[in-house]
Structure formats: C-alpha cells, structure tokens
Amino acid sequence: MKLASAIDEFLLYMGSVKGLSENTVIGYKNDYILLLELLGHDRELDDIVREDLNVCIGELSKLKRKSTSINRFISSMRTLFSYCHKFGYIKTNPALSLKTVKISKLMPRFMTESEVETLCAMPEKNELLWESRDKALFEMLFSSGCRVSELAGLKISDFNGGIDRAIVRGKGNKDRVVYFGEAAQKAFLEYLKDRKKLIIEKGLDPKNIQNVFVNQNGTALTTGGIRFILSRYTGVEGTKHHINPHAFRHTFATQLLSNGCDVRVVQELLGHSSISTTQRYTHVTTEKLIETYRNAFPHSK
C-alpha cells in the first residue's frame, strides 16, 4: 500500500469511526500533507524506516518550526503508523521509538480584570461589526471558560432550563456544563433579540438555524469567524493589543484559582481530562503572587 492511500483511509477512520472533531482531523491532515511532501506521494509503506522519519523531523528543525509543532507532527506519525501496524499494512512500526523534542514551559497568556472590562466594552464603543453579538461572545467566553470551538458549536437546544448554563461538547466528544454570569446573561439576551430580527429580515426558518452565534447572513459562525471578530477589536481599530480567544479561557482559570477555587473544580469547569493540565494555572497564580509581593514590599527587592 502506498503512503498516500494509507493516509486517506486513516483520516476517514478518525473522522467517521473514532468521531474526532473536524478541527482535529484537519490538524492530522496538515501534518500528513507535510509528510507526503518530505517522503514523496508514491512512497510505499513497507519502504519507510525510522531513519526516514528522523530525516523529516530534521527538516522541520531546519525550517525553524516550533517545538510544539514538531512534537505534534511526531504524534501524528506515531498514530498513523500504529494504525497501519494494527491492521497489518506494515510488519514493523517505524515510528514506535521516535522521541519528542524538549519544550520550554511557557506560562499561559491571561488578561487582567481591567483588560477584560475594556475588551468587553469595545463592541459598544467602536461599533465595528455586530455590537450585541460581539459583546455576548466576549462576555460568554470569559464567563464560561469555553474553548472557542465549544462556543462556536453551541446550539439553542443546549440551554436547558435557563440562560445561566449550557451543555457544551468538548474534546473527545465529552459533554460538560458551563455557566454564565449576570453580565454574560444580560449581553446574551440583547443579542438574542437582534438575532431574531436578523433571521426574520433574511426570511430564514428559525428551525433550521440551531447555532447560537451566527454571522450577518444568518449562517453559523465558525471558530475562524470568532477569531476574526476578536482580531478586529484587538487590532488598530480597538485595543491595539492582539490576543487570541484562548486568553479568555486562561483568564477564567487564573481568576478562579486566584480567588481560592479548588483546582479539581476548575478542572471540571474547563473540561480537562488530566489534573496536570489544570495545574499550569496554579503556577501562573504563584508567579502573580510573587510579582505583587515584590512590587508592594520594598525590602523584598
């Protein structure tokens, strides 16, 4: 079997049988496009050995790819060749003993309370796109700690018994409940009024529009669309301080831990499968505490 054919089969398997999200499958696909470019589209699976894969990793280093990108590429190769070995397409797995590269630990980027307030006020202040929708987006991202993909996929039916909470589907197709504070609820209600007006004006059937957040054509807002909206409000027309949607999630976690919330509760709210992922934020709060101490107490310097 040729490498290209094995990749096509594997991607179909991951999307249909394993039920991975579209974004995850696209991530795998991008890594395999690069693999095919480096090894050749006509390469036979049986001809690939560990040295070939090490050459690919070396090429990524020459291209100055980030360590996280290289490790994701290695993980993608491991998964692909493990699949091929499991189903008997290859006798030995050339990716089995590949080693990942060392990653320097970076603290998650989070916003201060004043930065969050400034950003959430931007839609009303600047009127760049769709005021009520954009304010609701920012408030709900911050209040819930949702991933941007989770908020993009939020449906009207996911709100059961009120607007203060909703069920979202996270990584691994795991459902969890997220909560929205008063500011987020207020912004959400204002947006729903405008959303209804738009649907009527466009002559659309509300039953066919299940996604909560839509664009100005009445179709579902994508994760890319949300990133674009945020880039407008944090660009030269707005705060002039670019951030990505994940900064809301980092800020949500950091504030909870700074205010004494148990790390296990934060883990549940964020939908982390491993407590070690959540514990990154405890380091952030510790660093923040030390910085505050040094700034406030002269003799600490």
Positions marked catalytic = 147, 171, 246, 249, 272, 281
Q: How far apart are CA 291 and CA 2, in angstroms?
A: 56
Q: Which of 48, 132, 58 is nearest to 93 (CA)?
A: 48
DSSP assigned state of 13? I
8 A C-beta contact, residue 100 and residue 108: no
Q: Which residues are 165's β-sheet partners?
A: 179
Task: Tell me how far apart the alpha carbons of residues 164 and 169 are, in angstroms, rounded to a whole number.
Answer: 17
What is the three-class DSSP state of 203? coil
Tell me the two tokens of residue 118.
């400034």
Contact 288, 186 (CB under 8 A): no
